[in-house]
Amino acid sequence: MNIRRTLASLFLLGIAGTAAALDYRSVDVPAAILYDAPSQKGKKLYLIKAQTPVEVVVRLDGWLKVRDAEGTLAWIESRQVSERRMLVVTAPKAEIRQSDKPESAVVAELDKWVAVEFIETASPGWAKVRHRDGATGYIRSAQVWGL
C-alpha cells in the first residue's frame, strides 16, 4: 500500500509540475503557417496571425508544437514566435476595467478573438492587460485564453 501511495504522490507531483510549467508565446510575424509535422514539407494546415497566443507543447530543433485557443495542435517554426505574452478574448464580449473589481468602470469593450498584451496577474480571476490602442486595465481571466 505504501508503494501505491508513493507512486500516486509522484504522479500527482508530476501533473502539478506540468501544469505550473505552461509556456505561452505569441506569433511574431504578420502571418505564420502551421503544419502537421515539424517540416516545411509537412502539410500546411492554416495561417495564424500576428499577436495570436499559442501554448508550447513540444520543442524540436527549430520547431514548436503548439496549441491554439481552440485546442488545435500544430507545428510552427520557432523563429516565428516570440516570448511576448498575449491573451485572446474567447468570450463573445469582454471588458477591460479600471481595476480588478466587477463594479469598476469599463475602459474598453472587446469582441471575441481580439488580442491583448498580458502585463501581469492581478487578484484571483483577473489579469492586467494592454490593448494595442493603448487601453490598459484589468480583464476577467474567464474571458480570455493564454493564462
pLDDT tens string 35-89: 999 999 999 999 999 999 999 999 999 999 999 999 999 999 999 999 999 999 9
Residues 6+ apart with CB under 8 A from 116: 86, 87, 88, 89, 96, 110, 129, 130, 131, 132, 139, 144
Cross-strand pairs, 48: 32
Regarding whether 135 and 94 lie in a shared domain, the answer is yes
CA distances from 89 to 2, 111, 115 (A): 46, 7, 6
Regarding whether 60 and 38 lie in a shared domain, the answer is yes
Regarding whether 58 and 46 lie in a shared domain, the answer is yes
Reading the block at residue 135, the C-alpha cell is 487601453
Determine the structural domain holding residue 35 and report its residue range.
22-82
Task: Classify residue 11: in a domain, yes or no.
Answer: no
Query: In which band, very low, low, confident or very high, does the pLDDT at 103 lie, cut at 50, 70 and 90?
Result: very high
The domain boundary, picked from 61, 82, 103, lies at 82
Regarding whether 107 and 75 lie in a shared domain, the answer is no
Look up the pTM and report it: 0.80
